[in-house]
Amino acid sequence: MLEGFQNATKIPELRRRLLFTLAMLAVYRVGVHIPTPGIDRVALASFFDRVKDTIFGLFNLFSGGALEQFSVFSLGIMPYISASIILQLLTVVFPYLERLSKEGEVGRRKITQYTRYGTIVLSIIQGLMIAAGMEGTRGGGGEAIVLEPGWRFRLMTVVTLTSGTAFIMWLGEQITERGIGNGISLIIFAGIVARLPSAVTSTYQFVQEGELGVLVILLVAVIVVTVVGLVIFMERGQRRIPVQYAKRVVGRKMYGGQTSHLPLKINTSGVIPPIFASSILIFPATVAQFVQQPWAQAAAGYLAPGQWLHDVLYVGFIIFFCYFYTAVVFNPVDVAENMKKFGGYIPGIRPGQKTAEFIDRVLSRVTLGGAIYISAVALLPTMLISQFNVPFFFGGTALLIVVGVALDTVAQVETHMITRNYEGFMKRGRLRGRRG
């Protein structure tokens, strides 16, 4: 593998792409530390210490810590992700968007343009809500977070945060086009990994102070390495359905006759299910921060991480969103029709409707296994904290994102190397990303 990394630096184009990607990620990390004007940062820090288990903590995770500093990148890339998900869901509802999704490169560019517009609209709405919410929020000592409340502060905040999100979106598109890997995913990856040094430092301090034993740390390290290996194995896992193509004569040439396969990934929905499930479950805790009512405090207590009701609902929501999002992004009827159009069929299954029903049945079983796997990884931090009293700094969702993005990026680097007659990172076989 070390030889593979050395070979990657020998290819001029790949070296330029890697350096460009690192430079853009460095620009992003610098922007995370540029604060928005009009904020008392000390009061803001004490506020985030109090709400780290609410929806603010989730947004802060995906913004790479920018929200707790209220920087120009506070909204992060979440508006773009939300707009992308909304467009994907609307594709099922509106025939016009469905036709665009099937028009190849032209349709993809049009949908990307709509996604950009949606990102700006969502950024304006979220920026205005955050600005209004900050005006009525107090720090740990009761001090005001906003120095000069009013519409001047709100408009300035909306313009600043929207511009920051638009710039991050541009950075991500530049990385995708001129760098290596998926730019949006790499920005999220960089934000999560940036917390690793502080997590290691905090763990070392706990060991120095005697709050954690060395054996416990070693046990947790073994568990984390094992889980990372499991995530890699499951993300690459797929159910291959054999497909046979009939022979066709076109002019003087004969086409078809070969055997292929239809890969059904175990985790088709990616990290969308745990993100949606977390957003729903931490909403009561967020409401409880602003609504000082007994019912709100009771609901937040019952749905706090570590409570049995929270874990049961969390798993239920993950399973539901796994099936829901898989149904949105993968249509067995369209797959069966395309196979029939090109003379393909599954041995022993009639083409057309019977093929679609067979694919749907197999996909449902595979998705159940993927949902159970995602639920187990997502609940891992809660189990470690409750059983060993270990401060786990990365959630299961973050772990899925980090491993998945790393696999995708390494797979793209390996593709560049193989096309230029270099060996990949693995001497036998190829390393596939989540889209493999």
Residue 436 confidence (pLDDT):
40
Asked if 176 and 81 touch (Cβ cutoff 8 Å), the reply is no
pLDDT tens string 353-367: 899 999 999 999 999
How many Å is the Cα radius of gyration of the chain?
A: 24
349 secondary structure, DSSP code: S
Residue 392 confidence (pLDDT):
54
Ordered mean pLDDT values, 10 residues apiece, the chain (436 residues):
62 85 91 84 76 64 72 84 82 82 80 90 87 75 78 90 92 89 85 78 76 76 83 86 75 66 86 79 65 68 73 88 86 86 84 89 92 86 63 68 84 77 54 50
Residue 414 confidence (pLDDT):
80
282 secondary structure, DSSP code: T
Residues 12-16: contacts with CB under 8 Å, at least 24 apart: 13/416, 14/180, 14/413, 14/416, 14/417, 14/420
Residue with tokens 């947004």: 59
349 sits in the region (left: phi over 0; alpha: psi -120 to 50; else beta) called: beta
Residue with tokens 């680097």: 413
Residue with tokens 């004569």: 249
What domains can be seen in the chain, in order of their start residue?
A: 1-195 (1.10.3370.10), 212-393 (1.10.3370.10)
Residues 176-181: contacts with CB under 8 Å, at least 24 apart: 178/17, 178/20, 179/17, 179/18, 179/20, 179/21, 179/24, 180/14, 180/17, 180/18, 180/21, 180/409, 180/412, 180/413, 180/416, 181/21, 181/405, 181/408, 181/409, 181/412
Residue 190 confidence (pLDDT):
86
Q: How far apart are the first and last CA of the chain?
A: 20
The residues pairing with 260 across neighbouring beta strands, listed in sequence order, are 243
Largest separation between any pair of C-alpha atoms in the chain: 84
Handedness of CA 15, 187, 266, 369 (dihedral sign): positive
> How distant, in Å, are the alpha carbons of 99, 141, 267, 268 from that of 90?
12, 45, 22, 19
Residue 284 confidence (pLDDT):
67
Q: Give the span between the Cα atoms of 102 and 94, in whole angstroms.
A: 13
With residues binned 3-state (H G I as helix, E B as strand, rest as coil), the percentages for the chain, rounded to 5, are 70, 5, 25
